[in-house]
Every structure is written in structure tokens, then in C-alpha cells.
Structure 1
Amino acid sequence: MSNLACVPFKQVATAFALCTALFATGAMANQPQIYGLHEKVSLHELALELPAKLDTGAETASLSAKNIQVFKRDGGEWVRFQLGMKDAEEAQIIEKPLARMSYIKRRADDRKPGDKQLYSARPVIEMDICVGNELKSIEVNLTDRSAFEYPLLIGSSALKEFNAAVSPGVRYSAGQPSCTQTS
């Protein structure tokens, strides 16, 4: 029933009553927000807007970073990095607590012959990401994505947080990011 769309009936009043009943029972209230394959997002705490690729085939979100260093502070592990964007000349240094390490399976074309390391370790941080008017704190792994067109890839875990579905034929459907607080 959750896929049921409100279609025109012979009488508009009947259609309105059916739609109202579906919303009241929650049958349509939990429908995902449809986003495009590419969206403009804001890294809220950095006041930075950038394009992102929404990828249901990736599990985690990945942010382009360079000069990544894990270090100790106040008994905990932290990460220091700079954004690794194509146009960034002197990117600011960002320091965030390390949430965990992620181990990503390497593609065959990402390994040299005889290279036995099948996984790469990537530091993961929590970051506030704004898409449209939705602001969520999500886990983001740090890796050099400077060879890719989109410096941020948003994977399926984060898409679930946003209650999002991706329409591959659509681009920038959420418009400019306009978030005020984390939901």
C-alpha cells in the first residue's frame, strides 16, 4: 500500500478522502525523498558547498581529502586533513575526532601486479551534511578523490539516514542546500 499513488477518481472528493486517509495512517508519510544522481550539498560546519554523487552501490560516504594524518589528542584518536578538491590551492587544515577506521575492498585496477593488499584503510569522521533542507550527521571516510569529478560520494548508509531514493535521470533536484539545524 505504501507504493499506492493518489490517482484521479471520478469524484475529486473521493480521491481527496483516500489521500487524506493514507497520510493519516502513515501509509504515504514515510515515502523517501527523491534526489538526483548528483546534488549540491553543504558541509555545514565548514560553510562549504560542493557537488556530490549519490551512489547506492557504495556503502559509505567518501570525501576527497589529502595530507591525511591520524594523531592522538587528549587520549583519543583524531584526524587532520585538507580537502582534496581540484580547485583548492591552499585548503584549510581540518581536525576532527576519528570515529573509526573503514576497510574498503580495493578494485583490481587499483592494485599493482603482485600487490597482496586487498583492502585499504581509511579514517572515518562524523560530519554534518546538508542536502536540500535536510541536515544529517553522517559517517564519511577520507580518501583522495581528486581524480573524480565529484569530491563527495554519498553511499547507501547515508542515503538511509536521509530517507532518500535516487533517480539516476535527475540532477540537482534538491536545489541549493538550505539547512539550519541537524534533524
Structure 2
Amino acid sequence: MTRLALLATLLTFLSGTALAVEKTVYGLNEYARLQGMDLQVAAKLDTGAKTASLSARDIERFKRDGETWVRFYLAIDDAHEHPIERPLSRISKIKRRAGDFNPEEGKTYTARPVIELELCMGTALRNIEVNLTDRSAFQYPLLIGSEALKRFGALIDPSVKYAAGKPRCTSEALAAE
């Protein structure tokens, strides 16, 4: 191997190692604190999903000062008796699974409201987008998809659970993002 090829290989290895050092290892499941809702939930980290999903029920859109907002209740073990209101960020089109597709309806997607949410995992606090849907039939009320995982600088080790421990964010954690 020539010196130039050896140097290129070494630089590639070192840049990959440096990139990995900046990332945080999370497990297949993690505890997450929903800031502003004073709630900690178990979450499933799913690199196959693009967006994050939060379990919600009785979801309705309404206008406030000319802006579209969304009102909902968390569908998490009677976690909240009072509605939560957040500005609507956008509407997400989620691809339907084969068992969820009705050929007569003709839609291959489900439209879901999306809100921004401050989420804490370990010591990292990030603003992420979450779509609202009833996940009460699933084991985890919060699914964290690849877009949010990028914001956390996450490396996922599926052989580990709760690698980050309990959420312990400070108000300065978001500023460090």
C-alpha cells in the first residue's frame, strides 16, 4: 500500500471515529421527559420511522389569533385529565400499512397533526416534531423516529435498553444544541 493510500485510509478511519465520539449511544428503548407537560414516558427508538409519534386522543384543530392550533388529551394511562393545546406546525402524511389500507377509500396515507415538543433524553434536551395519533394499542406511547434521532446525535444499540438513564436535563441543555 502506498503512503498516500495509507494516509487516506487512516484519515477516513479517524474522521469516522471522531464522528462517533460526538454521538450519544441510546438503547432500543429510552425514558423521555415531555418538557412543559411534566411527564416522563418510555419511548421506542425507531430508525425505520421518519417522524416521532405521541399517543393522543380527542385531537381537534382550532383557530387562535388567526393561527391554527391543536387541542388533545394524552392517551397515556390517564396521564392527563386536562387538554393540552399547542400551535400546529404542519400536517404529516404517514404511509398506511397493508392492514390499515382500505382500497375503497383510496388513500395510501393518514394525515396527522404535527406539533413541536421539547423532549429530554438523558441529559440532552431538543425541540422535535411529533405527530399526534392514538398509540394506546402499542406498548410505548412515544415513538422517536429518525428525524428526531438526528437532532439528538443518536447512535442506537438495539441490544441495550435505557442506556441514557432517567431524563436529567437542565434549562441550559437546549441552548447547547
With the shorter chain as reference, the TM-score category is 0.7 to 0.9
**Aligned partners of 1:176 and 1:90: how far apart in 2?**
21
1:2–1:31: 8 Å Cα contact kept in structure 2? no
Q: For residues 63 and 89 of structure 1, do their structure 2 counterparts lie closer, same or farther at Cα, with a shift above 3 Å needed?
A: closer
Q: 1:173 aligns with which of 144, 163, 175?
A: 163
Shift in alpha-carbon separation, 1:111–1:75, aligned structure 2, 3 A? same
Q: Provide the secondary structure at the position in 2 that maps to 1:46.
A: coil
Secondary structure of the 1:92 match is coil
Of 109, 113, 119 in structure 2, the residue corresponding to residue 119 of structure 1 is: 109
Q: Which residue of 2 aligns with 1:139?
A: 129
My pick for the range that moved more, 106-115 or 65-74, is: 106-115
Alignment of structure 1 residues 22-101 onto 2, 5 Å:
27=18, 31-85=22-76, 87-88=77-78, 91-101=81-91
Q: Which aligned segments of 4 or more residues in structure 1 are displaced greater than 2 angstroms?
A: 27-31, 89-92, 111-115
- Distance across 1 between alignment mates of 2:30 and 2:136: 18
- CA displacement at 1:114 relative to structure 2: 2.9
Question: What residue ranges of structure 2 are gaps of 5+ in the alignment?
Answer: 1-13
Maintained 8 Å contact 2:31/2:121: yes
- Structure 2 CA distance for aligned equivalents of residues 156 and 49 of structure 1: 21
Note the C-alpha offset of 1:32. 1.4
Distance of aligned partners of 1:138 and 1:90 in 2 relative to their CA distance in 1, 3 Å threshold: closer
Alignment RMSD: 1.5
Q: Report how many residues are paired.
A: 160
The CA distance in 2 between the partners of 1:174 and 1:91, in whole Å, is 29
Looking at structure 1, the residues matched to 79 and 37 of structure 2 have their Cα atoms a distance apart, in angstroms, of 16
Structure showing greater radius of gyration is 1
| Residue ranges of structure 1 left out of the alignment (5+ in a row) | 5-26
Identity of aligned residues (%): 55
Residue 28 to residue 112, structure 1, CA distance change in 2 (3 Å): closer
C-alpha deviation, 1:2, in angstroms: 3.0
Question: Does 2:148 align with 1:162?
Answer: no
Q: Deviation per CA, 1:22-42, whole angstroms, max 9, x where unpaired?
A: xxxxx3575311100000000
**Maintained 8 Å contact 1:134/1:162:** yes
| TM-score, normalisation: structure 2 | 0.85
- Corresponding residue SS for 2:148: helix
